Structure 1
Amino acid sequence: MRILRIGLHVMFALLLLLGLVRTFLPANGVPAPPIHHRLFIVFLVVVLALVYVLGTSREYRRYRQDSGATGDVSATPAAAATNTLVWGWLIVITALWLTLLFLSPAFVWVAFPLMFLYLALAGKVSGVVVVVLLWVAAWVVPWWDTVRATGPQSPDIATILGPGIGAVLAVLVSAAYRHLLGQATHHQRVAAALRAAQTDLAITEHRAGQLEERERLAREIHDTLAQGFSSIVLLARAAGQHELPAPTHRALETIEETAVANLSEARELVRHLSTADPHVSLGTELERLTARYETELAVRNQPLQTSLRWEGDSPATLSEPVRAAVLRTVQVGLGNVAAHARARHAVITIGIWPNELTVDIFDDGVGFDVPHTFRPGFTQAPHNPQDQHTGYGLYGLEQRLTALKGSLTVESTPGEGTVLAARIPLTSQSNRSAQEATP
């Protein structure tokens, strides 16, 4: 296609130069026109060449932009203005050519590349109509010039057939060009669709591999670490029922507490890994999570009623790291409610705003004294010394939110319930941090 465009421009330049040479060196003994006449023709040739070069360079830039653009670019106001400029340029070079043809019949064959221009830049029907008009002008203007010089006479058949054959060839070549261009565009779209399908397939396979690996890790942790910690807890409790020295009892209590804490974290990790299906919506995952906690607590004769509320925008726009952070926040919050709060109601409110995401979890449980800094084993509830808060969940959650430029706040008073509030900014900077924090 590029060679055809260059060939058209070269043909225009050669035919314009040929017309200029024949004007200065006429054949068949025809006298050359006066010097002022020839100078004016040279001036018109230079102007026509400059206008042609400026127009073709601008049209080529537009062609490159349209080739790289997507969507219907022809329907935009900019495209309409550009089409007006193209038609104005065609009219100007056609007027200059007609003036040169009126001054010298030697420029008649410049009509041939002009026909290609109209067929390429105008519509199919309008292009053919203009080609017919150019063919008529190519033999009528020289014939009229001859009539003025020698008197009335019939037009020569050769002067009619010559431009006519050129017009027919221009139409046929242009039709073949359009067909090749359409085929090339079609193959480009097919190739682009194939590349997009391959990319989607690779992403799907990658996500499937991630999900499979997470499920495998969840099974391994459940079957090894979790089962091992559970066995340690049972053995420690069984041993503590015997008459043993006080130091031994304290050691067994420490072993049981440590095993319980690590068993809880192992179970939380299993839940986190096993609920990370990217094809399940965040709302569905959260509903499953709350239903699971309600079921578990009901079996333990600790009925809990949870409410899940949404505010702001749709969660479908969240990135995967932010979505995982929301799920992890609710997991840790409900895990603490189930383990320590002895609450009857829990309300989870998730707000998605233009610049921030919020997760607020309220429960009407027993509450606790909130420390200044979260760390493993941070506090012990004064009203019940057996209710030991390990702190691993809140500590890990705070670290996760910090990686996303977010924050974690816990407000609680013994006997008055607890409010856990997480804030995650939804800015470009936090999104970059989220991508870097993705495991």
Structure 2
Amino acid sequence: MGRLKYQKVGAFCLAGVLTFGMATPAFAKTVYVSAEEETVEGPMTLEAIQKQVLKNNRLQTTLNLNYKKVLSGLDAIDEGLGDLKDTQDSAARARKQAGDAASAGKDLVNAIPPSYDPDYVLGQVSSGLLSGSYKTANAMEDMTDSIVDQKRDELEDQQQDLKNTKQDLNKTQEDWNNQALLVSQLLVVKTAQVEKGIGLLEEKQDLMERLYTIEEKKESLGLSIKTDLKQAKLTVSENSKDVQDAKDGLTLLKRQINDLMGKPIDGELEIVAPDMARVIEYAPEYSEELLKEAKDKNYQLKTLRRDYQQAEQKTKDNTLYSGQIKAHQLDMDIAKVSMENQEIAIANDLKKKLDSINKAASAYQIQKDTYEKAKTQLEQQQKTAEVGMLSSVEIQALELQFKQNELALMAAAYDYDLAWEEYRLLMSGTSLDIYDTYKAQVGA
């Protein structure tokens, strides 16, 4: 059908090819950045990162060049159609001029009395020549019309394909723009979580090393066995590896963010963790009205309807052979089946997004309650420690546990926000292919 396959994703590692524009993530509003705005230095908020992504991402240039190429193609076709019209007009003028000349010659001959006068004979010959010229011009115009009609059909088909491509490119840009801020949000919140997690692992490492030192003293005093000491040492070693793995993961996340911003991938990047204060709301109920809204905005469904309508129009062209018409009828059947499958996919995606919101909301509420309970318990334990009823190691372990609850709360809040944003993009008709690829890679 000549339709652009507009939402295909390349290799995930080419993060820098994304171009980002319009969306409304929970953490930051869309901001348009002027070309002369300077690069932000120092710690960067999500909003600042998104500004740089909007400003510097490299795919924007490629998409714009492709768009200009399509426009150039449309201009060329317009010129070609204009040339065809000029050719037809020229043939029609030649025919008219020949007809007028032949008619004038005939009138001249009829005005000369029949005789053997040489002028009369010459007039008869001229009239015949003029009449033949008219017939030749008439035949030339018919042939020109036939060729022009054929070429016009070809050009108009190409023109329609380019118009479709133009629409698809517009949608591609819009989708990439809408997904971009959400991808930025995903990477930033994951970076914030990993950074906080590394801090906890390092605190845990300090605690494990203190416990290992205690086991060494106990073993030297005969109060423990060597197995306990080996286990403590193994725990320290395993946690040290966890710290390094987390730092390696953090490096990869920051590289992706830098790449999206058009910066050197190993450049310095310090991120301010987004705020996690949220009011919990559950998803709307699934309904036919909600599904209809999602279908009306779905561009893939629109392109399938477009394919169906174009194939249907061609089946009504009586200049085509029966085999060509049958092929277009099959195109209609294919588009119809594809539309039905797409409608099912939209319904399933909508249900999944609504379920994700509700699960994320419930998990967030549980973590809020758990955090508040842990906070109260820690405050009580700290008071106990103040009167010497808890050792410094025990209170350190309790504080570490509380910080782990705090990290779980942060993760739940971010997951809740992302679930809502995924739903909003779905309802706006935005493909989530790019975002889903990133989400799978970061293990969200």
TM-score range, shorter chain: under 0.3
Question: What TM-score comes out, normalization by structure 1 length?
Answer: 0.27
Q: Greater RCO between the two (CA within 8 Å, min separation 6)?
A: 2
When Rg is computed on C-alpha atoms for both structures, the one with the higher figure is: 1
Bigger proportion of residues as strand: 1
